[in-house]
Structure 1
């Protein structure tokens, strides 16, 4: 009886919340409910998980709706008041806490983090708090290292002790502090721990006192104890191999990188403060929007847990996120007073696409005809000329392999940038709508040229062509052996099976390594490079992937 009453209450709340949102919409900017519902049509199934979204104009919430189910076992629907996790959308809240601490005078953003974390190694050059905020520290992502060890996120109850232990074991950085950008959760877990070490409060206590409470975010907290009962929390679901929905929850206590429990309405209350500065004042607003600057002088798009850029010609400040099967996106168009929050408990959901489709309905004519399509005005090239540029390339910073394939006059990037299409704007330069460009040093006659790749967070990245690698059985035998990394606390065994080079862990699990260039192989998005010593014998291996560069393994046998 209690469950039926609870379900009825939620159903009534859903209708009431939507009705309240509808009545708050301004007459001159009304958006048809049918158009909004159409955006989320695929998540309106009463037999599956779904999403919730909210919209504000000039700080006032004007719309909130929800779709699908919060709990499939109890047939409880999502409502605008359902609590979700928005993944890395949480990072702006962590940056806000760090910046408030700096404004208090309790820390300086240019302090060396070893002042607060003496257990961290001395890398020769200081890693500053500001670098943690902007992802320019060079610190390896602890979760990626845990995955390399064999305990990927969601497979073990990770805590901040684990995160700090892994971070403190890294003898090397991805790069010299400040030289590049590499997204790393480590920097944001360290910020949460930093607040605790400086204030003596838990991170949630500090956040409730300084951020959530003052902004009226009554349904927001940090998931610092995943066993805690949270009223109206949805369950995360992902499709299983059997085609049915399966639970996938973040059963871990790390937070600051993610781990925010909140509602779509509370997210809008926070993002409104990035315009008003009711909490923190003008300097807080400035620091939250201050984009990072590399030691090369390049300004990157990442600010205080926020990406600053444009969407179809309109200035946008946003961040996406995903934790286990939860997905989230929070975006703000400051020149037009429009903000949109989307959260889902369906793993396949793309909240960024959903939020942008909603935003376009509210922005209307603010999106100019010239920017509607997001296409690049390119030039026509002979497909044969483009085909001459296709093939394998090596990122000279990391050794990572990337594949360029020809698609008529365009190039498509495989490993590394996820199938991104690049349109030619000259005989040697190809660009994408989201700001990625590749400029070749020539047109490819007499062999493929090297190129310079630029992205919103990295410029002047040299990629060099690599030749095909077809190792013989004798070649493969040179790599066979055991390889150990103290930094990841793992040993891998390299063996030959049925003519393939296999990588296996302590449990005998693993897979085939695909040869991509001499002494380099790929598997699962990682590039494995074998290094030779005197006499040409293989003595080391290194692993590079998106958030971990050049992790070294010593050959044991």
Structure 2
């Protein structure tokens, strides 16, 4: 077996797809097509990706392509740990909502009850505003860049984030007036969870989310110097075509910063169907889309985009941190979920995930496109 072939690994197929395909047919058909989707990343001289697909909560396969570590010649495997960037936000939202269900906080309360460092703007910013990106707070990373310390130029921490947020003299808009994506709201939630629970955000997540769901290779990057077993090095490509390391050397997390595998992502997204962890009210809050003051419903819920893909209902989020890329998507009406993560900054994880989804939603897509409008 060549090094290249070793870099493309698959878990055992434990189920046939619900379209009636046998395991053998799935292996010969869909898997070959999946390999083709990732062909550009399947080389011993470039960083790559991992992908996993589940149906009805059962993982059909997990495969990996390209290299996890170019310097040491280590290939990606289905068990490789990546950072999925803002895919992390749904985990932060889950922690916040679990505390609300515990009766420890209210999503409709003023966030200043828990984080008094924030200025009094004369208007109430609720925790729900943070969940939906409708708070009016500026993105702390953008402000840090204006101040001469863009992300990656120093080891940013939650202390830095809080300092920037506390110095924002006015809001971009009245809370609930508009939707404007900002990392600040999710970093504030991580701080809020720590203060309300009395545990570090990483520990709370481990005890309340990761361990109960069997996510054995998932943790937060709350200390970027910590050794993480099986972690892929992140790379970006320069103009001359060479790859250079591009790692997220920062300790802020909650907005991003999750360390995980494609299989662990599928475990979490399946729980967003079953509610085994959290129950019906948890599912309701996770999928409650924001409503602006005008009454307009936005696509963003609690760390999740509720949207459509080729006419099919989709729940998804993309992400990118330094040279990492990620995309986690779920098609509730068809029971299909796809997780893609890459350590190649040139990868379009969302595009790759949708190409894979097409292979398993083909009949549904064709049926929807053929339906009269």
Kept in 1: contact 2:11–2:63 (CA 8 A):
no
Deviations 1:182-232 (A, max 9, x none): 000000000000000111100010001100000000000000000000000
Kept in 2: contact 1:313–1:368 (CA 8 A):
no
RMSD: 1.8
Q: For residues 47 and 7 of structure 2, what CA distance do their matches in structure 1 show?
A: 18
Q: CA deviation at 1:94?
A: 0.3
Matches within 5 A, 1:426-445: none
Q: CA deviation at 1:42?
A: 0.7
Secondary structure at the counterpart of residue 12 of structure 2:
helix
Q: Paired residue for 2:16, among 7, 19, 25?
A: 25
Gaps of 5+ in 2: none
Q: CA deviation at 1:24?
A: 3.5
Q: Which has the larger radius of gyration?
A: 1
Matches within 5 A, 1:467-506: none
In structure 1, the partner of 2:96 is 98
Q: For residues 101 and 147 of structure 2, what CA distance do their matches in structure 1 show?
A: 39
Deviations 1:420-449 (A, max 9, x none): xxxxxxxxxxxxxxxxxxxxxxxxxxxxxx
Q: CA deviation at 1:242?
A: 3.3
Indicate how the Cα distance of structure 1 residues 370 and 60 shifts in structure 2: closer, same or farther if over 3 A, else same: closer
Q: Paired residue for 1:184, among 174, 182, 185?
A: 182
Kept in 1: contact 2:7–2:75 (CA 8 A):
no
Kept in 1: contact 2:87–2:327 (CA 8 A):
yes
Q: For residues 25 and 14 of structure 1, what CA distance do their matches in structure 2 show?
A: 21
Matches within 5 A, 1:74-473: 74-368=72-366, 371=369
Q: CA deviation at 1:342?
A: 0.1
Q: CA deviation at 1:338?
A: 0.1
Gaps of 5+ in 1: 1-6, 378-557
Secondary structure at the counterpart of residue 250 of structure 1:
coil
* TM-score normalised over the length of structure 2: 0.94
Secondary structure at the counterpart of residue 368 of structure 1:
helix
Higher relative contact order (CA 8 A, sep 6+): 2
Deviating more after overlay: 142-151 vs 313-322:
142-151
Q: CA deviation at 1:11?
A: 8.0
Deviations 1:264-315 (A, max 9, x none): 0000000000000011000000000000001111100000100001000100
Kept in 2: contact 1:292–1:299 (CA 8 A):
yes
Q: CA deviation at 1:337?
A: 0.3
Kept in 2: contact 1:85–1:261 (CA 8 A):
yes
Q: CA deviation at 1:14?
A: 5.7
Kept in 2: contact 1:291–1:308 (CA 8 A):
yes
Q: CA deviation at 1:25?
A: 3.3
In structure 2, the partner of 1:486 is none
Q: CA deviation at 1:243?
A: 2.1
Q: For residues 102 and 175 of structure 1, what CA distance do their matches in structure 2 show?
A: 26
Q: CA deviation at 1:251?
A: 0.2
* TM-score normalised over the length of structure 1: 0.63
Deviations 1:454-508 (A, max 9, x none): xxxxxxxxxxxxxxxxxxxxxxxxxxxxxxxxxxxxxxxxxxxxxxxxxxxxxxx
Q: For residues 320 and 116 of structure 1, what CA distance do their matches in structure 2 show?
A: 29
Q: CA deviation at 1:12?
A: 6.5
Q: For residues 20 and 41 of structure 2, what CA distance do their matches in structure 1 show?
A: 29
Q: For residues 20 and 262 of structure 1, what CA distance do their matches in structure 2 show?
A: 20
Q: Which has the higher strand share?
A: 1
Kept in 2: contact 1:25–1:63 (CA 8 A):
no
